[in-house]
Chains A and B, each alone.
Chain A
Amino acid sequence: MEDRGIELARWFDDRLGVARISKTALNKIFPDHWSFLLGEIAMYSFAIIIITGIFLTLFFVPSTKEVIYNGSYVPLRGQRVSEAYQSTVDISLNVRAGLVMRQMHHWAADIFAAAIVVHLCRIFFTGAFRRPRELNYMIGLTMLILVIVNGFIGYSLPDDQISGAGLRIAFSIFLSIPIIGTWGAFLLWGGNFPGNGDIIPRFYSLHILILPAVIAGLLAAHLGIMWHQKHTDFPGKDKSNRKVVGSSFWPTYTAKTTGYFFIIFGGLALLGGLFQINPIWLYGSYEPYKVSYAVQPDWYMGWLDGALRIMPAWETQFASRYLISAPFSRPGSGRRTRPWSITSSTGPAIDPFAPGSGSGSCPST
């Protein structure tokens, strides 16, 4: 057995000359601290997202073509639904282990983003982003953004009532971008909202191929740079800028980190099996004229939802021809002076600087 192993190692070394570098790798020292686990949670969530995502691709149909639902979920029978919606309901209710996989995928997305944020906090508050690690900090931030975007896109794929409302809002946000907004929104959606069926297939290739590939590439760079630069560490005995203190990659760290992978995998399986998330068969297929009162995005989109809520209700007209929509309109950008002027029909309620804004009005009065 051992001879076989050595035999194999020799075979590779004869061809690739990797014995020395592999030895260095096996002996690499990893400092021990619980907070180094945060990044691992993120990385392993990504791995699990890919595994469960591949399962989902086997059954999901990225199409908004309308069909009459005729499946096993009685309340939906006879309703016009999109193929994307129907296939997601089928994954949930008919495909064996489909619901577990779907819910694991969704939970993994939430945990993934959360792990990145907490990991980022560790990096930030311990100053680990400083020279020479700025590159990795930027890569990490980029991945966070991509994960949030891909999470939103994935959430939109089932084409259910709630995610459809989210897409409507996303379209409107695109529209609000000055100069290029309208064209950008039409480009992405293939026409005015809800588009002519282009958005789900396009989102699909972004979701399962393009963005994951970019994230995987960045992750490889992230790990490579981290490996090369070595971990930061907390102060302690024998620790210094010149030394890394900890356990070795082989076998201790290997066993622990592989163990963590399985623990996270198992934890996500428990979440996916026991805790319901996004029961889309209850929401119905998206119809633009319907709306649910439960329109809430996943937690990692909360910043955008919150920003939409607190943004003052201003629109600015520019050169008496163009409109700068609420998110980009700024108080003081030439208010009441031509060629700028601001429409603010809620002035007294929201704008503290508007004349006569003594009393706000609120909906219940």
Chain B
Amino acid sequence: MSTGGDDQSGSDDVSTGGENPGGTGPGAGSGGGTATSTTATTVEDLRLEIPVERPRRAENFVALCFTVSVLATIGLAITYSLGGQPQAEGALLGLGLAGIGIGLAAWGKYLMPQGPFVEDRHELPTTEKDKQAFGAAFSRGQVAVERRGFLGKLLGAAIGVFSIVGIFPFIRSLYNPRPGNQLDYTQFRRGSRLVQINGRPVMADDVDVGGVLTVFPEGHEGDAVSQTLLIRASSVPITTLPGRETWSPHGYLAYSKLCTHAGCPVSLYQQQVQQLLCPCHQSVFTILNGARPIFGPAPRLIPQLPIMDNGDGFLRAQSDYQEPVGPGYWERNTSTTLNPPKKAAGQ
């Protein structure tokens, strides 16, 4: 008997097993297109016929799978108790589980009744009568509630006020501290010595031309916001932008390490082309003219830290950065960076 299965191997030898309690033939059996079999679940018919011709082979296969699983799992227990070894554990655990899985799936596919059985899909919407009964039930309550409309409104107010006031301490207690102007400033102050992560101050002759160091304001080693890239780009001062004539003693340029795109540490200095590359999304900045982005998603020049050498050999900050470092944020007042002096992109 032909069946309606779409992709089951060997499903052709399924036959209907005689009478079924529902009183109708199985859907597939009537063979008359889609609309003929009218009643539900023909699965009550215990057709235990299975799709394969030689069940013994399938049985053996399933038995093999389960046996492999048992052996692998015992192996896993031994490996584990001997101290474990990741690859062996993974392989044995995998075999142990996959053995059960493949065995079960094969049992289901080859040694269990495949039907195809047919079941009615019920109509999802209920009847008009049901809907009306629901409406009536609901309005009964609604009438009772609306009769005391004033109380209802008060209840709404009580719950509303409670929700607002109740949520407030929850949110507020998470603010510790509040944003304030934390994003606008770093820890650099006038005279801060530039130090390395280990606290060692940087002297004017510490870095050769072409070298870089990550520096912080003294006392704030490791500070995520103040991190600064100190580049010895030359042996003589460089004026990166008009007004920055005194910012680079001995050819040291100090730029914030925070990318103006999304805040990654901009750390790859390419000396040949005097560029900085941000590893996160490949923004490229030219350092000789104020770390202007010439490629990638970074929208702004990287702020430059004005530094000085008072004559004692220590490199110090002349002041904090003169604009907020890092990526943009709503409260960032951009007037200082809007319409920056234009220079040709590139070198």
CB of B346 within 8 A of CB of A365, answer yes
CB of A326 within 8 A of CB of B179, answer no
The complex places the Cα of A176 from the Cα of B262 at a distance, in Å, of 9
A4 proximity list for chain B (CB < 8 A): none
The complex places the Cα of A73 from the Cα of B4 at a distance, in Å, of 61
CB of A363 within 8 A of CB of B284, answer yes
Binds A, one of B135-143, B247-255, B292-300, B314-322: B292-300
Interface residues of A in 215-266 (CB under 8 A from B): 229-230, 234, 236-248, 251-256, 258-266
Q: Is there a chain A Cβ closer than 8 Å to B91's Cβ?
A: yes
B331 proximity list for chain A (CB < 8 A): 182, 322-323
CB of B334 within 8 A of CB of A317, answer yes
The complex places the Cα of A226 from the Cα of B188 at a distance, in Å, of 60
> Known contacts being A255-B108, A259-B104, A362-B295, is A267 close to B87, with CB within 8 Å?
no
CB of A266 within 8 A of CB of B99, answer yes
B83 proximity list for chain A (CB < 8 A): 96
Q: Is there a chain A Cβ closer than 8 Å to B263's Cβ?
A: yes
Q: Is there a chain A Cβ closer than 8 Å to B112's Cβ?
A: yes
Q: Return the CB mask of B103-119 against A: 1 if under 8 Å, else 0.
A: 11111110011111111
A179 proximity list for chain B (CB < 8 A): 330
Choice from B117, B268, B329 contacting A246 with Cβ under 8 Å: B117
CB of A187 within 8 A of CB of B175, answer yes
CB of A349 within 8 A of CB of B345, answer yes
Q: Is there a chain B Cβ closer than 8 Å to A333's Cβ?
A: no
CB distance from A32 to the nearest CB of B (A): 6
CB distance from A236 to the nearest CB of B (A): 5
CB of B182 within 8 A of CB of A263, answer no
CB distance from B32 to the nearest CB of A (A): 10
Q: Is there a chain B Cβ closer than 8 Å to A270's Cβ?
A: yes
CB of A234 within 8 A of CB of B34, answer no
CB distance from B100 to the nearest CB of A (A): 4
Q: Is there a chain A Cβ closer than 8 Å to B214's Cβ?
A: yes
Q: Is there a chain B Cβ closer than 8 Å to A278's Cβ?
A: no
CB of B7 within 8 A of CB of A32, answer yes
CB of B299 within 8 A of CB of A190, answer no
Give chain A's interface residue range (CB within 8 Å of chain B).
Answer: 35 or more
CB of B87 within 8 A of CB of A273, answer yes
B121 proximity list for chain A (CB < 8 A): 230, 241-244
Interface residues of A in 141-157 (CB under 8 A from B): none
Q: Is there a chain A Cβ closer than 8 Å to B86's Cβ?
A: yes
> Known contacts being A293-B279, A348-B345, A361-B294, is A308 close to B105, with CB within 8 Å?
no
Binds B, one of A56-64, A206-214, A282-290: A282-290
A53 proximity list for chain B (CB < 8 A): none
> Known contacts being A132-B124, A256-B109, is A289 close to B224, with CB within 8 Å?
yes
A364 proximity list for chain B (CB < 8 A): 273
Q: Is there a chain B Cβ closer than 8 Å to A171's Cβ?
A: yes
CB of A239 within 8 A of CB of B90, answer no
Q: Return the CB mask of B226-243 against A: 1 if under 8 Å, else 0.
A: 010000000000000000
B225 proximity list for chain A (CB < 8 A): 192-193
CB of A100 within 8 A of CB of B279, answer no
Q: Is there a chain A Cβ closer than 8 Å to B178's Cβ?
A: yes
A234 proximity list for chain B (CB < 8 A): 6
> Known contacts being A172-B263, A193-B263, A248-B117, is A345 close to B299, with CB within 8 Å?
yes
Q: Is there a chain A Cβ closer than 8 Å to B97's Cβ?
A: yes
CB of B175 within 8 A of CB of A236, answer no
Choice from B104, B175, B263, B293 contacting A258 with Cβ under 8 Å: B104
The complex places the Cα of A38 from the Cα of B183 at a distance, in Å, of 46
CB distance from A76 to the nearest CB of B (A): 17
Q: Is there a chain B Cβ closer than 8 Å to A320's Cβ?
A: yes
Which residue of chain A has the shortest Cβ distance to B293 in the bound complex? A346
CB of B299 within 8 A of CB of A326, answer yes
Choice from A28, A168, A191, A263 contacting B263 with Cβ under 8 Å: A168
CB of B119 within 8 A of CB of A244, answer yes
The complex places the Cα of A218 from the Cα of B27 at a distance, in Å, of 35
Q: Return the CB mask of B53-65 against A: 1 if under 8 Å, else 0.
A: 0000000000000
CB of A190 within 8 A of CB of B119, answer no
Q: Return the CB mask of A169-185 against B: 1 if under 8 Å, else 0.
A: 10111011111111100
CB distance from A4 to the nearest CB of B (A): 22
The complex places the Cα of A341 from the Cα of B216 at a distance, in Å, of 34
CB of A266 within 8 A of CB of B98, answer yes
B177 proximity list for chain A (CB < 8 A): 191
Which residue of chain B has the shortest Cβ distance to A176 in the bound complex? B328
CB of B332 within 8 A of CB of A323, answer yes
CB distance from A341 to the nearest CB of B (A): 6
CB of B119 within 8 A of CB of A28, answer yes
Choice from A289, A308, A349 contacting B214 with Cβ under 8 Å: A289
Q: Is there a chain B Cβ closer than 8 Å to A315's Cβ?
A: yes
Q: Is there a chain A Cβ closer than 8 Å to B93's Cβ?
A: yes
Q: Is there a chain A Cβ closer than 8 Å to B308's Cβ?
A: no
CB of B102 within 8 A of CB of A263, answer yes
CB distance from B13 to the nearest CB of A (A): 15
Interface residues of A in 11-50 (CB under 8 A from B): 27-29, 32-34
B179 proximity list for chain A (CB < 8 A): 182-183, 186, 192
Q: Is there a chain A Cβ closer than 8 Å to B287's Cβ?
A: no
B193 proximity list for chain A (CB < 8 A): none
Interface residues of B in 270-324 (CB under 8 A from A): 273, 275, 277, 279-284, 292-301
20 pairs, A vs B, C-beta closer than 8 Å: A182-B331, A191-B177, A196-B176, A246-B116, A256-B104, A260-B101, A262-B98, A263-B102, A266-B94, A266-B96, A266-B98, A273-B87, A288-B265, A313-B296, A315-B328, A323-B333, A345-B292, A346-B298, A361-B345, A364-B273
List 18 additional A-B contacts (Cβ < 8 Å) besides A259-B105, A291-B267, A308-B297: A28-B119, A96-B80, A96-B83, A97-B84, A175-B328, A183-B175, A238-B34, A243-B27, A248-B43, A259-B108, A289-B224, A289-B257, A313-B296, A314-B299, A315-B300, A346-B293, A346-B296, A361-B346
Chain A: residues with CB nearer than 8 A to chain B?
27-29, 32-34, 96-97, 99-100, 103-104, 132, 165, 168-169, 171-173, 175-183, 186-187, 190-194, 196, 229-230, 234, 236-248, 251-256, 258-274, 287-293, 295, 305, 308-315, 317, 320-326, 341, 343-346, 348-349, 361-365
Chain B: residues with CB nearer than 8 A to chain A?
3-8, 27-28, 33-35, 37, 41, 43-44, 80, 83-84, 86-91, 93-109, 112-121, 124, 171, 174-179, 182-183, 197, 214, 216, 222, 224-225, 227, 257, 261-265, 267-268, 273, 275, 277, 279-284, 292-301, 326-335, 337-340, 345-346
